[in-house]
A and B are shown apart, each in its own frame.
Chain A
Amino acid sequence: MSLKRIVIALCLALAMGVAACGSSDDEGGGDSAANQSEGTQAEGKSGPVTIGFSAPAADHGWMAAITKNAEAEAKKLGDVKLVTTEGATDSAGQADQIESLIARKPDALVILPNEGDALTPVAQKATQAGIPVINVDREFSTPGAFRTWIGGDNYGIGWQAGNYFADQLKCKGNVVEIQGLAGISVTELRTEGFNDAIKRRCKDGIKVVARQPADFLPDKGLSVMENILQANKQIDAVYTHDDDMAEGVVSAIENANRQDEMFLTGAGGSKAAMERIQEGGLYRATFLYNPSMSASAIRLARLIAREQGLEELAEPEVPSRIQVPATTVTKENAKQLMPLGF
């Protein structure tokens, strides 16, 4: 019985806390409204900006870098108050967190959804509540759900990789593709871009002898590659969809002592991959899918909240789509691009 009472007391305290938060946020909203009337039209608003940030649980390096970069950028800007939510492990959990962010009435929301489709309704709700949503990477299913999208170029990764393979192999050879997680657009696009490029450049000169998913996991990459090595006596190059996963693929090749037979490329742009590329040898290149995009998203959110545009553009508003290029990282430019690594 006493436990029950404690629980009830806790609930009441929580409810009061929430109410208190709500009222203070209302004041915040009033402030920014006041700012709006003060600011001139060309300059937009000024003063501190509150940005809500939501991304799925960081369970790998890239996602960790997304959150880290956003936080670092907010700190660097100084006048941005970033409200982040704890990493949700599924879409429903993230939707709940975004709901709670909406309730706090931030000036803008930066969201990297766990799944674009599943989180579109909650993004739409935020937009309708007058909070501009900056959609990072995984796209919402309707333009009505967000103000601006910034993301990487998955098709571009495949396309760049395909062209790189065509150059390096002179359009002739056996290629293995280790894909990410089957059935998601990231994987499909990275495969499609690669296919299109090698078909267009080389017709049937480059043969994909094996194409298997390893779910972006290094241990899966290891065991899948071990089997593929058994099945194929001559492999000239391996295209992998992810730098972390590629670590396992590299181990499989090196354990089988076949690193001189082939080369390998990654994707993403991790520090470890760039270091390996600098060393030379098996790991020949990677293609950027840079988590710095979350830092850019914070900057965009700040501009949008202040109703400002990008200085270099003629238009007074932030563009509605920005795609970060899939730069090819090789031995030649690895050192220079290292600061972007994660």
Chain B
Amino acid sequence: MSTAPDTARRTPPLGLPGGRIELQEYALVGVVVVLVIAGAVLQGEAFLSSDNLLGVLRQSSIVGVLAIGMTFVIATAGIDLSVGSMVAAASIAGGLAADSGSLAFILGAVAMGVLLGGINATAIAYGRVVPFIATLAMFTMARGLALWLSDKTPISVFDLEFVRWFGTGEVIGIPSAVWVFLAVTALGWVLLNRTRYGRYVVAVGGNREAARIAGVRVRRIIFSVYVLSGVCVAIASVLLTGRLASASPVVGNLYELDAIAAVVIGGSSLAGGRATIVGTFLGVITFGLIFNLLTLMDLPIEIQQITKGVIILAAVLIQRRER
């Protein structure tokens, strides 16, 4: 058993590719800086106000939390297409418990997130279903569940002060949702970079066979990342519901694509074995800034969509070159 951590350290995680990852992170810092300068020039005060910049962080927090979980999934060479639908299901599960107070809401949301994440995990780790298919199935099941449980109508949580605090509250001038996002990011960073578990996760994605031979319990690791993703879903659903003051079965539409895109432009490899929390964080911020800037400018949606696509492509190309 004592050989396991050693071997894991020698497989992909933080050895050689680590350096490459840092370069990529710097490249994305450049993209963020360019966006901020563009915003300052084009929109001036409306963009640069601390209110707006904190707003960008707050808006990013929901997809941000999902993207942190997604980073772990992608590190194992997996994918989770179901997080957006699961956010809706978790919100509704919480909403159904809302009569018993904020804590009941949170418990309901966590229970649903973990349950659905657990189903993904079981199907993938033990049922050997390809992650793409298993989570695609969950993508439609979770949405159906949300619609069914809610009878297709939103549930007001206006009276749940504590849940709403996550959406509207502030601690020393910074929105509570941003604190949650930062905390999840920090925890994710420690877990991925400073624990044996994190090394195993990356090792499984890098070379599953090698990891198995080295004594890593591959299935257990794979199981765990989808449950982790489910936990992130629960957190995101609390943030979103708090912000909306209601739980709605139609929210979260295609959040998974935003989360995956953020992870990938951050520099993690879709093929697994290489993952960076800082990159994901910067990827999320990049998307937040783009969305903010384009709506501030009131560009027509078609121009926004083209611009967003071009920026994503450019960000990835710049990174390739620097590598």
Residues in A lying within 8 Å of B, measured CB to CB: 58-61, 63-64, 182, 209-213, 215, 217-220, 222-224, 226-228, 230-231, 244, 247-248, 251, 254-255, 272
With A60-B152, A64-B153 known as contacts, the answer to whether A230 contacts B51 (CB < 8 A) is yes
Main secondary structure of the interface of A (DSSP, over half): helix
Question: Whole-angstrom distance between the alpha carbons of A251 and B147 in the complex?
Answer: 22
Question: Whole-angstrom distance between the alpha carbons of A8 and B105 in the complex?
Answer: 47
Question: Whole-angstrom distance between the alpha carbons of A219 and B246 in the complex?
Answer: 10
The 8 A CB mask of B294-323 against A (1 = contact, 0 = none) is 011110011000000000000000000000
Complex contact A223–B59 (CB within 8 A): yes
Contacts of A213 in B (CB 8 A): 301
> Which residue of chain A has its CB nearest to the CB of B51?
A230
Contacts of B249 in A (CB 8 A): 59
> Which residue of chain B has its CB nearest to the CB of A254?
B245
With A230-B49, A231-B43 known as contacts, the answer to whether A251 contacts B248 (CB < 8 A) is no
Q: How far is the CB of B55 from chain A (nearest CB, A)?
A: 6
Cβ of B252 under 8 Å from chain A: yes
Interface pairs A-B: 5 shortest CB-CB: A227-B295, A64-B152, A219-B251, A231-B296, A230-B52
Complex contact B152–A58 (CB within 8 A): yes
Complex contact B154–A272 (CB within 8 A): yes
Complex contact A255–B253 (CB within 8 A): no
Q: Which among A58, A218, A228 is the interface contact of B147 at CB below 8 angstroms? A: A58
Complex contact A244–B147 (CB within 8 A): no
Complex contact A244–B250 (CB within 8 A): yes
With A212-B301, A247-B154, A251-B243 known as contacts, the answer to whether A59 contacts B295 (CB < 8 A) is no
Residues in B lying within 8 Å of A, measured CB to CB: 43, 46-47, 49, 51-52, 55, 58-59, 143, 147, 151-154, 156, 167-168, 240, 243-246, 248-253, 291-292, 295-298, 301-302
Contacts of B243 in A (CB 8 A): 222, 251, 255
Question: Whole-angstrom distance between the alpha carbons of A211 and B302 in the complex?
Answer: 13
Contacts of A209 in B (CB 8 A): 298
Question: Whole-angstrom distance between the alpha carbons of A272 and B291 in the complex?
Answer: 29
Complex contact B253–A215 (CB within 8 A): yes
Question: Whole-angstrom distance between the alpha carbons of A223 and B296 in the complex?
Answer: 12
Contacts of A230 in B (CB 8 A): 46-47, 49, 51-52, 55, 292, 296
Contacts of B250 in A (CB 8 A): 59-60, 217-218, 244
> Which residue of chain A has its CB nearest to the CB of B296?
A231
> Which residue of chain A has its CB nearest to the CB of B244?
A251
Question: Whole-angstrom distance between the alpha carbons of A219 and B152 in the complex?
Answer: 15
Q: A218-B248, A219-B251, A230-B296 are in contact. List 9 more A-B contacts (CB 8 A).
A: A60-B250, A218-B244, A226-B55, A227-B295, A227-B296, A247-B154, A248-B244, A251-B245, A272-B153
Contacts of B253 in A (CB 8 A): 215, 217, 219-220
Question: Whole-angstrom distance between the alpha carbons of A94 and B91 in the complex?
Answer: 29
Contacts of B251 in A (CB 8 A): 217-219
With A59-B152, A230-B46 known as contacts, the answer to whether A223 contacts B252 (CB < 8 A) is no
Complex contact B246–A231 (CB within 8 A): no
Q: How far is the CB of B216 from chain A (nearest CB, A)?
A: 34
Q: How far is the CB of B299 from chain A (nearest CB, A)?
A: 9
Contacts of B168 in A (CB 8 A): 255
Question: Whole-angstrom distance between the alpha carbons of A224 and B59 in the complex?
Answer: 10
Question: Whole-angstrom distance between the alpha carbons of A213 and B304 in the complex?
Answer: 11
Complex contact A244–B154 (CB within 8 A): yes
Complex contact B295–A219 (CB within 8 A): no
Q: How far is the CB of A214 from chain B (nearest CB, A)?
A: 10
Q: How far is the CB of B236 from chain A (nearest CB, A)?
A: 11
Contacts of A251 in B (CB 8 A): 167, 243-246
Question: Whole-angstrom distance between the alpha carbons of A129 and B248 in the complex?
Answer: 42
Contacts of A217 in B (CB 8 A): 250-251, 253
Complex contact A61–B298 (CB within 8 A): no
> Which residue of chain A has its CB nearest to the CB of B292?
A227
Question: Whole-angstrom distance between the alpha carbons of A98 and B184 in the complex?
Answer: 48
With A219-B252, A244-B250 known as contacts, the answer to whether A228 contacts B295 (CB < 8 A) is yes
Question: Whole-angstrom distance between the alpha carbons of A59 and B147 in the complex?
Answer: 7
With A58-B147, A219-B244 known as contacts, the answer to whether A231 contacts B152 (CB < 8 A) is no
Complex contact B153–A61 (CB within 8 A): yes
> Which residue of chain B has its CB nearest to the CB of A181?
B301
Question: Whole-angstrom distance between the alpha carbons of A222 and B243 in the complex?
Answer: 8
Contacts of A182 in B (CB 8 A): 301-302
Contacts of B154 in A (CB 8 A): 61, 218, 244, 247, 272
Contacts of A247 in B (CB 8 A): 154, 244, 246, 248
> Which residue of chain A has its CB nearest to the CB of B63?
A223
> Which residue of chain B has its CB nearest to the CB of A220?
B253
Q: How far is the CB of A222 from chain B (nearest CB, A)?
A: 6
> Which residue of chain A has its CB nearest to the CB of B146?
A59
Complex contact B295–A244 (CB within 8 A): no
Contacts of B52 in A (CB 8 A): 230
Contacts of B46 in A (CB 8 A): 230-231
Question: Whole-angstrom distance between the alpha carbons of A224 and B296 in the complex?
Answer: 9
Most A C-beta atoms less than 10 A away, residue of B43, B252, B296, B297: B296
> Which residue of chain B has its CB nearest to the CB of A62?
B152
Of the A-B pairs whose beta carbons lie under 8 Å apart in the complex, a sample of 15, sorted by A's number, is A59-B147, A61-B152, A182-B301, A210-B295, A211-B298, A212-B298, A212-B301, A220-B253, A222-B243, A222-B244, A227-B55, A227-B59, A230-B52, A247-B244, A255-B243
Question: Whole-angstrom distance between the alpha carbons of A59 and B244 in the complex?
Answer: 19
Contacts of B296 in A (CB 8 A): 227, 230-231
> Which residue of chain B has its CB nearest to the CB of A233?
B46
> Which residue of chain B has its CB nearest to the CB of A212?
B295
> Which residue of chain B has its CB nearest to the CB of A182?
B301
Contacts of B297 in A (CB 8 A): 231
Question: Whole-angstrom distance between the alpha carbons of A217 and B246 in the complex?
Answer: 13
Q: How far is the CB of B185 from chain A (nearest CB, A)?
A: 20
> Which residue of chain A has its CB nearest to the CB of B88?
A219
